[in-house]
C-alpha cells in the first residue's frame, strides 16, 4: 500500500512554486522525497525556498519563469531535463487576481476594468495552458506523467465580485477535462490530467476580501463560514493529501476530475 503513494524520486515541476500555496506544497513534497523544481517570477522568494528545503536535507532547484512566455518555459524545460532527465509531475499553481477585475460592493459589472479582466484571464488560463503545452511534451515521450491544475471554488459556482477570476478558473476546469481525454486517447493511459478546486483559504491574495483592517471578519467572511459545514477557512496543509494522491500511482485510474477541497461549501445548501 505504501508504494502506491510513494513519490520519492519523482521530478515535480511547480509553477508559482514560491507563492502562498505553492511554497507549502513544494516543501511538503520535498519532505516526501520528490525532486522539486520551483518555477516563479520572484527569484528572491524562490531561492530562499530552495535554501530552506535543502537545509532539511531535501532536494529542490529554482528557475525564474514567466508562465505566459513560451520561450522562457522552453528554456526551463531544457534546464530541468539537463538536471534530471525527466519530468514526472506538473503542478500548475501560478495564478492570481487583481482589483480591477473584481467588482467592489459599491460598483457594478459596468465598472469592470476590461484590461484588468484580460490580465487575470491571461495569467490564470494561459498561465496554465502554456506550461502544459511545454512540459507535457516530455511526459508524452515518457508515456507517463501527471498534471494537476489549480482551479477554484469559483470555477464551480459564480461567486460575487470575482468575475474575472471565476471565469478564468471555470475555463481551467474545462481545459482539464479536455486535456485528460486528449492526452490519454492520443498518447496512452499513462498520462493523466486532473485539477484541485480549493475553497476559501485565508491567504494574502484574498485577505482584503475576507478580513477588515483590524483583522475581524467581513460580512462576506461570515456568510462564507455560515455556508461551510466545517465552519472554518482552509489552510495550505489541507491541500497536501489530495495533491499527493493525484500525483502518485494510487490515482492511476483517475483523470479528468476536479477535486474540491472546501470543507463542504460546494455540497451544502439550506
| Best CA proximity match to 200, nearest among 167, 165, 174 | 165
Asked if 180 contacts 196 with a C-beta cutoff of 8 angstroms, the reply is: no
**Separation of alpha carbons 210 and 205, rounded Å:** 10
User: How is 83-98 classified by DSSP, letter by letter?
Assistant: HHS---EEEE------
Instruction: Name the 3-class secondary structure at 172.
Output: helix
**Separation of alpha carbons 268 and 156, rounded Å:** 13
**Separation of alpha carbons 30 and 27, rounded Å:** 5
Asked if 120 contacts 96 with a C-beta cutoff of 8 angstroms, the reply is: yes
Grid cell listed for 1: 500500500
* 165 given a catalytic annotation: yes
Cα 198 to the center of its chain, rounded Å: 9
| Best CA proximity match to 155, nearest among 147, 167, 145, 143 | 167
Question: 70-84 and 127-142 helices cross at what angle (nearest 10)?
Answer: 30
Write down the catalytic residue from 165, 178, 240, 245: 165
| Best CA proximity match to 21, nearest among 101, 110, 95, 104 | 95
Task: Give me the active site residues, please.
Answer: 165
Amino acid at each position: 500500500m505504501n508504494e502506491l503513494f510513494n513519490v520519492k524520486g519523482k521530478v515535480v515541476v511547480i509553477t508559482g512554486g514560491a507563492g502562498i500555496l505553492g511554497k507549502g506544497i513544494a516543501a511538503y513534497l520535498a519532505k516526501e522525497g520528490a525532486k522539486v523544481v520551483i518555477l516563479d517570477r520572484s527569484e528572491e522568494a524562490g531561492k530562499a525556498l530552495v535554501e530552506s528545503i535543502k537545509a532539511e536535507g531535501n532536494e529542490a532547484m529554482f528557475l525564474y519563469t514567466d508562465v505566459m512566455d513560451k520561450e522562457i518555459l522552453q528554456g526551463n524545460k531544457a534546464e530541468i531535463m539537463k538536471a534530471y532527465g525527466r519530468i514526472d509531475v506538473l503542478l500548475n499553481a501560478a495564478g492570481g487576481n487583481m482589483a480591477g477585475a473584481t467588482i467592489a460592493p459599491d460598483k457594478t459589472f459596468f465598472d469592470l476594468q476590461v484590461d484588468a479582466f484580460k490580465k487575470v484571464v491571461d495569467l490564470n488560463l494561459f498561465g496554465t495552458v502554456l506550461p502544459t503545452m511545454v512540459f507535457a511534451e516530455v511526459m508524452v515521450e515518457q508515456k507517463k506523467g501527471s498534471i494537476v491544475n489549480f482551479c477554484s471554488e469559483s470555477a464551480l459556482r459564480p461567486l460575487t465580485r470575482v468575475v474575472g477570476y471565476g471565469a478564468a478558473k471555470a475555463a481551467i476546469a474545462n481545459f482539464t477535462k479536455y486535456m485528460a481525454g486528449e492526452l490519454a486517447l492520443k498518447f496512452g493511459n499513462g498520462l493523466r490530467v486532473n485539477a484541485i478546486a480549493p475553497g476559501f483559504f485565508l491567504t494574502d491574495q484574498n485577505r482584503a476580501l475576507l478580513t477588515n483592517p483590524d483583522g475581524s471578519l467581513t460580512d462576506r467572511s461570515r456568510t462564507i463560514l455560515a455556508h461551510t459545514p466545517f465552519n472554518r477557512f482552509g489552510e495550505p496543509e489541507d491541500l497536501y493529501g489530495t495533491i499527493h494522491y493525484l500525483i502518485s500511482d494510487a490515482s492511476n485510474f483517475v483523470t479528468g476530475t476536479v477535486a474540491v477541497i472546501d470543507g463542504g461549501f460546494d455540497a451544502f445548501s439550506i
